[in-house]
Amino acid sequence: MQAVLLAGGLGTRLKSVVNDRPKPMADVCGKPFMEYLILELKKHGITDIVLAVGYKGEMVEEYFGNGEQLDVHIEYSYEKEQLGTAGAIKNAGQYIKESEFFVLNADTFYQAAYSDAIDLYKSENMDMALVLRKVPDVSRYGSVKLDNHMIIGFNEKVSDHISGVINGGIYLMRKTVLDLIPEGKKCSLENEIIPQMLAEKKKLGAVVNEGYFIDIGVPDDYFKFIKDVEQKNIEF
């Protein structure tokens, strides 16, 4: 199965500590953050990877090449301008060879059960299956509402510091979802396409996983991931 990694963002909130490279290339114990993510995908048999790059994308390609050093196959989808998460997926569509594929945020590391998402997607004939994460405080992220395993509310802002489930940044989607995304325009998967799909009664489901999860969008979490790798708190 293929995976598209969204690695084209500017990483504005992390620039105080990582200002010379794309956020997914942030150094973690001598390796870029995204290498740990690719190794996690490989563990689950996902070895055909498209890197959707923009800002300093050449640095990404120079490091990873065609992926052979990691025993995976990598292709590159370049954005000439910022296209947002959905726009980047649309731009990468030319490299998608299968009828369904994974999409991941390349600044998030999540040790999730990919097979659970695949099983749900296939058994319920989903248009999209997401992997969610339980967190003690949803206010930073926006919450996801479920009715059993079906999504009924997405990316809803919550000001209260309460526990709940959030988007884990792992999506398994039909290739036909690309038809919903405008060509060459900035578009958000989270704030535009998924709400549109829910409004159109598309089948969006989710599994909730409790594996190791971190989003390095802010310095504190970036340093936490470095510490966890150094102390071998994560199994690769």
What residues act catalytically? 157
Q: What share of the chain is helix, strand, coil (3-state, %, to 5)?
A: 35, 30, 35
Place of tokens 């409790």: 210
The dihedral through the CA atoms of 209, 210, 213, 218 has a sign that is positive
Element spanning 147, H or E:
strand 143-147
d(CA 122, CA 119): 5
Complete edge-to-edge strand list for the sheet that includes strand 164-174: 73-78, 48-53, 2-7, 100-105, 164-174, 128-135, 204-209, 150-156, 143-147
Distance of CA 55 to the CA centre of its chain: 17
d(CA 106, CA 169): 9
CA atoms within 13 A on the CB side of 108: 21
